[in-house]
Chain A
Amino acid sequence: MNTVNHHHVIKVIFGFIIFLFSLALAYFTADYFSVHSGADKWIINVFFIGIYLIVGMIVMNVYAISLGFLFAADVLLLDVLSSNFYRLDDLIKAVIIGVILAILYAIALSRFSQPIAVSSQAAPPPPPPPPPVLPASA
């Protein structure tokens, strides 16, 4: 029991370290290139998002590493979206949200599709009362 918990804690710590280092690598690289070559930070971040997604999917059997990369890609993508979302055309925003909604519906339909139980039938009738006990005749 302790061994299992120990392994889980180690995996979480390593996943978290991978997450932090991959974020640091992406942001430091983006800073460096934006200062020295005038490149847009978000373009470099998009490049790292692609790499992290691919690496995260390739190493999916080692889920601590995989989740570290995937969550780093998540944070980078949210950063890119938050700084650029309002510049996009409304139709493109609608398409992005529509795609996210479609995937959410797919998850909900595949993972949480337990039919709602409806108690439309009436409750069963109560059992008949026991027959009265007749007094013993003398």
Chain B
Amino acid sequence: MEILALLLIWPFLILALGLVFIVGDRANDVFFPAFSGFFWTVLIIVLIFLYFRNRKNIVQQSTGQQLESFRKLLVMFSIALLIPIFIQYLVSGFDHSLAIIILGLLASFGLIVWSLAARISWVLLYANIAGAAFALFYLYQELWRLGDLARIFAAAFGLIVAVAIAVVKLKDKLT
């Protein structure tokens, strides 16, 4: 079973990456409608930046370590891009209902708080924060369209979460 799991990881990661590219154009239209290609331009710049930042480490690594790093990068990249697209399809599938938007907000803030509080791994930390940030960007756009009351709710909710995170995370530094 362990061998099968190890064997299936690479094909699955390539499948997930392929799915990201299949739905990527839709993501660009949803998140940055004014500038087609912006999403991919930013991603390529980030990847080039990451490569040059870690170039020295990459050269010093063995082939196995390089493959492990590449696998981590694939998982991080796929999770970060699939979270907002998942939320977008969920909201769209439920006909932009307010309950689903609120659920999406809770899930996105929950992911950020979980990654900051649990300290599981760098892969999940970066992936969750980037994915949830994109998802929040989209959800706030949706809330903005719903009218004044929704905007008040959105601002209040964001403020409460920001204060809660700051109290939990920055308490030691402030006192």
Contacts and interface: CB of A to CB of B under 8 A. Distances in A.
A112 to B, nearest CB: 5
B23 A85 contact: yes
Interface size class of B (residues with CB under 8 A): 35 or more
Contact of A60 (B3, B9, B123, B172): B3
A63 B7 contact: yes
Contact of A116 (B22, B79, B119): B119
Interface of A: 56-57, 60-61, 63, 66-67, 70-71, 73-74, 77-78, 81-82, 85, 89-91, 93-94, 96-98, 100-101, 103-105, 107-109, 111-116, 118, 120
A113 B120 contact: yes
Contacts of B85: 97
A85 B90 CA distance: 15
**Looking at chain A's contact residues, is the secondary structure mostly helix, strand, loop, or mixed?**
helix
A94 B121 contact: no
Contacts of B12: 103, 107
22 contacts: A57-B4, A60-B3, A60-B4, A67-B11, A74-B15, A81-B18, A97-B23, A97-B89, A100-B19, A103-B16, A104-B79, A107-B12, A107-B75, A108-B79, A108-B123, A108-B127, A109-B120, A109-B124, A111-B9, A112-B75, A113-B121, A115-B120
A104 B22 contact: no
B121 A108 contact: yes
Interface string B13-35: 11110110011000000000000
Nearest to A115: B119
A111 B70 CA distance: 13
A6 to B, nearest CB: 16
B46 interface: no
A113 B124 CA distance: 8
